[in-house]
Amino acid sequence: MTDLTRLTACETVELLARSAVSPLELVDAALARIAEVDPRLNALPTLCAEQAREQARALMARPRRADDGAAGLHGLPIAVKDNNEVAGVRCTMGSRVFADRIAQTSDLIVERLQARGAIVLAKSNLPEFAAGGTTTNEVFGTTVNPWRTDVTCGGSSGGSAAALASGQVWLATGNDFAGSIRIPSAFCGTVGLRPTPGTVARIQRQPYSPLSVEGPMARTVADCALMLDCEAGPLADDPLSRPAPAQRYLSAARAPQLPPRLAFSADLGVAPVIDPEVAALCRTAAERLQGPGVRVELAQPDLHDALQVFPVLRGHIYVGRLASIMDAHRDRMTAPVIWNVEAGLRCGMRELVDAEIAQAALARRVLRFFDRHDLLLCPVALTPPFDARAPHLQSLRGVEFDFYFHWMIMTWAITLTGCPALSLPCAITADGLPVGLQLVGPPGSEHRLFAAASAMEQIYGLASRVPRDPLDPPGHVPLDLLRPGPLGAGLRQP
């Protein structure tokens, strides 16, 4: 690993702004790191090296402009998740349906980051159509975890998190529905934010849905805030989008401060089971924050009906996104994706309307909870990273999960609230795997989250653990043996 790839995004951008390093040098440094470690991880299966070099040369030849600004990235190479289109680059969605598709245009989030000086270097791996909490598909195979290459990196933004954790890029895009930013960030020891819906504008087929959002993924809290500064802002075509704030998110991350009223819950009152080590480590991490002016209380909002509400609303989104694709290409889609769409098609109108009404009541209860607490802390996941060969977690400590994404309940229960949530490394298990703490605030509280997360990052002292060289355990199974066969075992209808 070179000195450049070890640097944080903020440190690297400062060098770029002073012309102490060039975008082309960074592209070459990142490509060398990718060549060194990605054959063992499979995080970045599609490279766009020549396009990146062209962008780097163009940025270097362009005179500095006044609107480049302090919030710009000045030529920083990034990875883009393979469900975000980049013009001229392969975009598979992790599906055989689109295995050979070349994007004709770029997604809004890509255009916005490029306008701020980002250079797209690679596409990061994901499960088919981002449907899952692990990262495996029939186009590129399985992505594994740099902390230990026999366990999963999480999903669906798993390629982004694994690439960050192994020093292949400095920033990466992610999107989050049921936990797709937060879970891989927790499993890979990196930082990821699910922002308040509308903070990062996006164009969706169902434009009024607040369940799925774009968000930043990075190695440190400050890097995450820097990326959100470059992503945030309004869009006329997104009715949920909001103006960028007057105060930069990075300024909040650079002013660490814990709020006085913290709540902690190990299971949010809805998890059917949790690994006792994860629960204990997260509770200890929360207790470490207590001190003069800071009180940590065991408390949680009322999320009792999340288990009934989320699968219905999730099915509705999957019908809108994928039903027409399934009609035309069912034979090239895997069982989990088909299952998701068909679950949505089985829902009746009354069931959908009841779920929407229940979600609104749940969100109002959470808002009242934040009248009494500044932040809610809880584990990101019920378990540490598990076997990379498992497409999902079927059971934990003898408890069977009712359906394949049930184990992700700690994140998708929060999705229902409309609140921003940040995944922060807080501890390491006895087996040497990272554990993530989820920080949740009321809608629009991203500045509060970044200030608190920055303070916690200093207390926990884990930011220096990434980037890291991939660790192969004894009896390591080569990555090509992890290429997936038929997916979908153990699917059950919620």
The domain locations on the chain are: 3-307+349-482
Tokens of 354: 């009841």
Sign of CA dihedral 298, 299, 304, 309: negative
pLDDT of residue 479: 65
DSSP bridge pairs for 297: 263
- Is 81 a catalytic site residue? yes
Give the model's pLDDT for residue 69. Answer: 56
Instruction: For residue range 114-137, list pLDDT tens digits in order.
Output: 999 999 999 999 999 999 999 999
Burial zone of 25 (CB within 10 Å; 0-12 exposed, 13-18 middle, 19+ buried): middle
Task: Report which of 149, 114, 164 is spatially closest to residue 39, judged by C-alpha positions.
Answer: 149
What DSSP designation does 191 have? E
| pLDDT number for residue 486 | 44
**DSSP characters over 118-179:** EEEEEEE--SGGG-SSS-EETTTEE-EETTEEEEE--SSSHHHHHHHHTTS-SEEEEEESSS
Q: Which one-letter DSSP state was computed for residue 305?
A: T
Active-site residue 464, yes or no?
no
136, 164, 165, 304, 462 from 98: Cα distances, Å: 15, 26, 28, 39, 39
pLDDT at 420 over 70: yes
**Both tokens of residue 412?**
């998708």
pLDDT the model gives residue 57: 97
The answer to whether 184 touches 90, Cβ cutoff 8 Å, is: no
**Length reported for the chain:** 494
The HSE-up count of residue 214 (CA atoms within 13 Å, CB side) is 29
pLDDT band of 475, cuts 50, 70, 90: confident
Distance CA 144, CA 389 (A): 9
Distance CA 138, CA 37 (A): 22
Active-site annotation holds for 123: no
| Distance between CA atoms of residues 358 and 349, nearest Å | 14
Tell me what pLDDT residue 436 has. 98
Active-site residue among 95, 106, 124, 156? 156
Q: Are strands 46-47 and 213-218 parallel, antiparallel or unpaired?
A: unpaired
- Cis ω for the linkage preceding 467 (within 30 of 0): yes
Amino acid at 261: R
User: What's the whole-number mean pLDDT along residues 349-366?
Assistant: 97
Contact (CB, 8 A) for 200 and 109: yes
Report the distance separating Cα 1 and Cα 468, nearest Å. Answer: 9
For residue 484, pLDDT over 70 is answered with: no
What DSSP designation does 479 have?
A: G
Is the pLDDT assigned to residue 457 strictly greater than 70?
A: yes
Given the residues 180, 212, 423, 454, the one annotated as active site: 180
Give percent of the chain with pLDDT exceeding 90.
Answer: 91
Q: Is the N-terminal amide bond of 423 cis, ω within 30° of 0?
A: no
CA distances from 327 to 93, 346, 491 (A): 17, 15, 21
For domain 3-307+349-482, the question of CATH label 3.90.1300.10 is answered with yes
Q: What is the pLDDT of residue 491?
A: 41
- The residues near 196 (Cβ < 8 Å, ≥ 6 apart) are 213, 242, 418, 419, 420, 443, 444, 445, 446
Interval 316-335: pLDDT, tens: 999 999 999 999 999 999 99
Cβ count near 129 (within 10 Å) = 24
pLDDT score of 487 more than 50: no
* Coil, strand or helix at 387: strand
Query: How high is the mean pLDDT of the chain?
Result: 94
pLDDT tens for each residue of 15-31:
999 999 999 999 999 99
86 token code pair: 């980049």
Q: Is the pLDDT of residue 411 over 60?
A: yes
Rounded to whole angstroms, how far apart are CA atoms 153 and 424? Answer: 15
* Residue 40 DSSP code: G
Quote the pLDDT of residue 493: 42
pTM score: 0.96
Q: Could you report the per-residue pLDDT of 79-113, keeping only the tens digit for each?
A: 999 999 999 999 999 999 999 999 999 999 999 99
pLDDT of residue 71: 62
Q: Are the CB atoms for 200 and 188 separated by under 8 Å?
A: no
Percent of the chain at pLDDT exceeding 70: 95
- Residues paired with residue 152 on neighbouring β-strands, in sequence order: 144
Helices (H) and strands (E) counted in the chain, each on its own, are 15, 17
- Is residue 65 scored above 90 in pLDDT? no
- pLDDT above 90 for 206: no
